[in-house]
């Protein structure tokens, strides 16, 4: 169905694989547009409980935006490319269902920015993270100057952004960039599935509202504390809240319906 991606719904988990192995899964414009469509299905398809995004093969998650494609861009084309990337990556960050990056191999530039837009990053030991844009005389255009600071703090973020140093999976974990590091890609996949299935057993409305409130912390227009107060009260109007509290009192497992 897609030229640059593989998207498969297996038992409610959407497995998205960036499928440009010969180009180290570099993100071209067509691929990003396909990703936009796939992300929209996660919002709209009730059978999907979460998504795992990875790169085809063992060598790369994604080695960045496709350099060959934007090498001759004008200023306005650069602005349009960056804006459309932001739009897609924001829709991943705001996705109401868990969206996990399984980071295998090179996770550079736009690839690292894509992984950072996901809710969590589960890495295999061969993963390498970095923002090498400065080597090309350009700055990151898909959010790294903001999300890397959010995730690891200004001091280390600015060091990685200015030096273009690549770091190992374990260094990324020590910095808080990777949530977990597993020995192999298969182990990392199992971890992603385990996390999504665990979250799927919780109240889906609460899951979605937590994502919204956490994002509000980084918003310049919203007050995260005020949002939390409102959403806490609003959750009490839901059937899921009644079911969750009743199940607790009745000492049984809650059956949430997302209503
Ligand atoms: N954009 C476009 N093509 C890319 C790419 C990118 N970001 N990263 C890798 N490729 C392509 C290479 O051009 C090469 O294609 P070819 O076989 O048609 O020549 C293929 O993927 C394999 O890459 P290669 O460089 O030969 O692999 P390597 O193992 O020697 O090096 C890297 C791996 C990741 C160190 C190297 O590919 C690299 O530095 N990539 C660019 C990283 C980057 O600057 N990303 C930020 C972009 S804004």
Terminus-to-terminus CA distance in the chain, angstroms? 32
The pLDDT of residue 176: 98
Say if ligand 1 is within 6 A of residue 81 CB: no
Place of tokens 């409130």: 213
Residues 11-69: tens digit of each pLDDT: 999 999 999 999 999 999 999 999 999 999 999 999 999 999 999 999 999 999 999 99
In this prediction, the residues of the chain whose per-residue pLDDT falls under 50 are: none
- Whether 217 and 228 have beta carbons less than 8 Å apart is answered as no
Q: How far is the CA of 24 from the centre of ligand 1 (A)?
A: 6
What is the set of active-site residues?
Answer: 113, 133
- CA 258 to CA 206: how far, in whole Å? 9
pTM of the model: 0.98
Residue positions counted in the chain:
259
The pLDDT of residue 1: 87
| Integer CA distances (angstroms), 100 to 93, 178, 257, in order | 10, 11, 23
Q: How far is the CA of 209 from the centre of ligand 1 (A)?
A: 39
Say if ligand 1 is within 6 A of residue 23 CB: yes
- Whether 238 and 212 have beta carbons less than 8 Å apart is answered as no
The pLDDT of residue 57: 97
């Amino acid at each position: 169905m897609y030229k640059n991606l593989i998207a498969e719904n297996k038992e409610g988990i959407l497995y998205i694989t960036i499928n440009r192995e010969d180009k180290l899964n570099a993100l071209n414009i067509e691929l990003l547009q396909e990703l936009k469509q796939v992300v929209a299905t996660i919002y709209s398809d009730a059978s999907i409980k979460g998504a795992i995004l990875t790169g085809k093969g063992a060598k790369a998650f994604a080695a960045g935006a496709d350099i060959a494609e934007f090498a001759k861009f004008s200023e306005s084309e650069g602005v349009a490319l960056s804006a459309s990337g932001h739009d897609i990556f924001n829709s991943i960050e705001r996705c109401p269902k868990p969206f996990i990056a399984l980071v295998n191999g090179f996770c550079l530039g736009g690839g690292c920015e894509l992984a950072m837009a996901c809710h969590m990053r589960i890495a295999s030991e061969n993963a390498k993270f970095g923002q090498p844009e400065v080597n090309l005389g350009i700055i990151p255009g898909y959010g790294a100057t903001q999300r890397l600071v959010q995730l690891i703090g200004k001091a280390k973020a600015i060091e990685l952004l200015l030096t273009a140093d690549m770091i190992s999976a374990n260094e990324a974990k020590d910095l808080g960039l990777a949530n977990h590091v597993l020995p192999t890609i298969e182990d990392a996949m199992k971890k992603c599935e385990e996390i999504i299935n665990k979250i799927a057993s919780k109240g889906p409305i609460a899951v979605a509202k937590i994502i919204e409130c956490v994002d509000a912390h980084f918003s310049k227009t919203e007050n995260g504390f005020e949002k939390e107060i409102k959403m806490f009260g609003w959750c009490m109007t839901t059937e899921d809240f009644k079911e969750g509290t009743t199940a607790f009192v009745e000492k049984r497992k809650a059956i949430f319906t997302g209503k």
